Amino acid sequence: MIKKLILSLSAAAALAAIAASPASAGPKGKDAEVTVFVSELTFSFPHFVFLQEQLEDEAAKIGKVKVIRSDGQLSAPKQIADLEAAVVQGVDGVIIAPADADALAPAVRAAIKAGVPVVTVDRPVNGVSEVLANVAADNLTGAVRQGEAVAKQFPNGATIVNLQGIPGDRNANDRNAGVHKALDAKPGLYKFVAEQTARFSRDQGLAVTEDLLTGLPQPPAVIIAANDDSALGAAQAIEARGLKGKVAIFGYDGSTDALKAVRDGSLAATVDQFPGKQGRIAVRTLVDYIRTGAKPAESNILIAPIAITKDNLSQAERVGLLTQ
């Protein structure tokens, strides 16, 4: 109740401040200076660090685009306050990866009403159809690819531990659903012996896997993780038990650490959702609209992820970062 009250008060403050801001007068012109405020979900996840770096690189290529970056710190109240301040300061547009799809909706809607276009990236806000675009990976499809990679490596079946993401998070829900869509079609072959949240965290991936290995009568053949951090935590637990090479671990994100682990054999696969491409498309879509009024052909721009194994490591977006 207290958390909801804080969120409501923060949203109310954002609405009041934004309402006082002047609305946009229309396209600024194709060579106009543009200031874009970017609120990432958190810079503690390599996924969002890389997304931000690629977004800023694209902005530099476009030219005359100033990017103001902000760490959302997994906090809806912080993102609301940061968004409020950015709009009051007169930014031309906003890119945001929302920490809470519901809590951010009123502030995002108010910003748009004040004439500041918004692009969501990695995940949408709920119920705000006025958003210029949502640029994200198709997480359901990506998780299907993850499940298919399991089936390809274990055509005769496998016991599976499923390390899920943050409860209630849309991406976590889609990834869980996609894995089940791929593997539940053959329940006689693929048996989920345990499913538990690891909250997209390496520490939780380690701790939860340790607990599950203690409680299960025998180790699973496969661990599926909702992101690379939890997969890498699971890999630590597996190695500590002397089970490396005996339990196949499948991650999701295509992070540099995960790609190294795939190359070195600690992970069987990861799913690359191309965060750099998401960032580049998001900033170009927003700047084009600010300068010329051009809207994207589709407001929901979904990028198809792919499963990365040793066999196709060269297709990973961050393969060039593997320096050792």
pLDDT tens-place string over residues 129-144: 999 999 999 999 999 9
Q: Is the pLDDT of residue 209 over 70?
A: yes
Q: Which residue has the higher pLDDT, 169 or 189?
A: 189
- Is the confidence at residue 13, as pLDDT, over 60? no
Q: Among the residues of 34-169, which ranges form H helices?
A: 46-62, 76-89, 105-113, 139-153
Supply the pLDDT for residue 41: 95
Are 282 and 268 in the same domain?
A: no
Q: Based on the domain organization, do 244 and 152 belong to the same domain?
A: yes
Whether residues 79 and 111 fall in one domain: yes
**Tens of pLDDT, residues 154-175:** 999 999 999 999 998 888 999 9
Residue 123 CA to its chain's centroid (Å): 7
Confidence tier at 46 by pLDDT (50, 70, 90):
confident
Farthest-apart Cα atoms in the chain, separation:
66
pLDDT confidence of residue 94? 98
80 and 161 co-located in one domain: no
CATH code, domain carrying 112: 3.40.50.2300
pLDDT band at residue 25 using 50, 70 and 90 as cut-offs: low
Q: Which of 270, 251, 252 is nearest to 313 (CA)?
A: 270
Same domain, 265 and 282: no
Average pLDDT over residues 184-210: 96
**236: containing domain:** 139-273+309-321
In this structure, the answer to whether residues 144 and 193 fall within a common structural domain is yes
For residue 306, how many C-alpha atoms fall within 13 Å in the half-sphere facing its CB?
11
Tell me, yes or no, whether 69 and 132 share the same domain: yes
Please, are residues 190 and 158 in contact by the beta-carbon 8 Å criterion? yes
The SS3 call for residue 318 is: coil
What's the rounded Cα separation, in Å, for the pair 173 and 160? 18
Task: Let me know whether 173 and 198 are in one domain.
Answer: yes
Does residue 47 sit in the same domain as residue 88?
Answer: yes
| 316 and 187, same domain (yes or no) | yes
- What pLDDT score does 59 carry? 98
Do residues 39 and 95 share a domain?
Answer: yes
Do 260 and 235 touch, CB atoms closer than 8 A?
A: no
When divided into structural domains, the chain yields a total of 2
Q: Both 66 and 49 in a single domain?
A: yes
Q: What are phi and psi of 275, to 5 degrees?
A: -65, -35
